[in-house]
Amino acid sequence: MLAARVAERVRITGPSMEPVLRDGDRVLVNRLAYLLRRPRPGEVVLARVSTVPGGVTVKRIAAVEGSGHLILLGDNRAQSTDSRHFGAVPPRAVVGRVWYRYWPPQRRGRLPRPAVHAPATAPTRGGTTAGVAAPAGPAIMTVAGAEGPKRE
């Protein structure tokens, strides 16, 4: 019973997170990952989104808005229903962080750490520069697709 509160098993459906997660992969979601800290860009999360099939989705956090809302995008942008369709989601919609793939056995293991580009500099109002980091990934394409993970 305690294990169900700490981790959740989820089956990936659809191609939206390829190549990292494929249709049929089974993963563990750490439900306590954000108990003491906020979700970060680059992390893969399970989130409640009422407008997607099944009411939950697995996506990568692409950005955090100033309001704290999260922009969620699929790694396979051409086949993903994500924040480009349902908008930014509040942090409370995040169920947990996807951290371990246990099926198929030949691909078993922790998900790779998110790749982040080296900080770039951007001008600020005072004329100084500030570091800006962005998650690595392909350019955004707007093509609709439908999928949703299945809780086990």
Is residue 72 scored above 80 in pLDDT? yes
Average pLDDT over residues 107-116: 82
How many domains does the chain fold into? 1
What pLDDT is recorded for position 148?
62
The CATH number for 57's domain is 2.10.109.10
Q: Which range marks the domain in which residue 119 is found?
A: 2-151
Is residue 116 scored above 90 in pLDDT? no
What pLDDT is recorded for position 5?
84
Give per-residue pLDDT as tens, 28-37.
999 999 999 9
**Quick one: CA dihedral 140, 18, 79, 48, positive or negative?**
negative
What pLDDT is recorded for position 125?
44
Give per-residue pLDDT as tens, 35-48.
999 999 999 999 99
